[in-house]
Amino acid sequence: MATRPTSEALKAFRKQLRLTQAEFADMLQTTRATYKNWESDISIPDEAVNRLQDLGFWDGKTLRGAGIVSQIAETEGRRVSLAGSPMVEVPVIGRASAGPGQGNVDTDLHSIWVPMSLAQSGGVGWVVEGDSMMPALEPGDIALFREHRQPKRGHTFLVRTTDREERVKIMDWAHGEWILRSLNPAYKPEPLAGHEILGFLIGWYKVRGTREDIVSDPAGLMIAE
């Protein structure tokens, strides 16, 4: 029988690569459910060992090569993030406006690329414009929203105004009514009444120079004011 890495070694190596089980499973051309078994003392099959060797990760004795993930992706025609995580496309309807006069549907943009770990949260991607949610969300940041039509205090929502424009706001309750607030104090709070709630924020992907920030929570992200 061919030599193969142990389950513990495989798990440790995946974490060294900074990949989720689903991302590493995709790289090994299998499903997450199958890969999960390999980290649980289930013998790694020969085809998986061969794939590790093809990728340059397994030399027959040790797992190595965490720094070549981006090279692998490039040779296979795949996109990766700055940290080397695989990138996938998520649907997008338009650009999320931080203020009036920015939003509406962008017919030239149908999908955007985000790290696989973020895409697995589900939702629809938006490219942020405007400055009402700065410094948390800046123009060009990618935000993911999950459809939800009811207000939730403290959560960040994508709403459609009576003018059919989309905006990103923090939902609050004050003086007996729902209020939409901006993180930027230059924008005054406004009543929710008349606006359509589209969904709440579940994740974002930001790039600042050579650094990237990936945050997700399927239950909803709350941005502190």
Q: What is the pLDDT of residue 150?
A: 95
Q: What is the pLDDT of residue 107?
A: 38
Q: Token pair for residue 33?
A: 């459910």
Burial of 23 (0-12, 13-18, 19+ CB in 10 A): buried
**Distance of alpha carbon 171 from alpha carbon 154, whole angstroms:** 5
What is the phi-psi region of residue 201: left when phi exceeds 0, alpha when psi lies from -120 to 50, beta otherwise?
beta
Q: What is the pLDDT of residue 71?
A: 47
Mean pLDDT per 10-residue run, the chain (225 residues)? 78 76 80 87 83 79 61 53 72 54 43 80 82 88 91 94 87 96 94 94 86 88 79
**Distance of alpha carbon 181 from alpha carbon 200, whole angstroms:** 14
CA nearest to 143, candidates 174, 172, 166:
166
**Distance of alpha carbon 21 from alpha carbon 6, whole angstroms:** 16
Q: What is the pLDDT of residue 77?
A: 54
Q: What is the pLDDT of residue 105?
A: 37
Domains (ranges, CATH) in the chain? 7-75 (1.10.260), 87-216 (2.10.109.10)
DSSP notation for 1-61 = ------HHHHHHHHHHHT--HHHHHHHTTS-HHHHHHHTTTPPPPHHHHHHHHHTT-B-SS
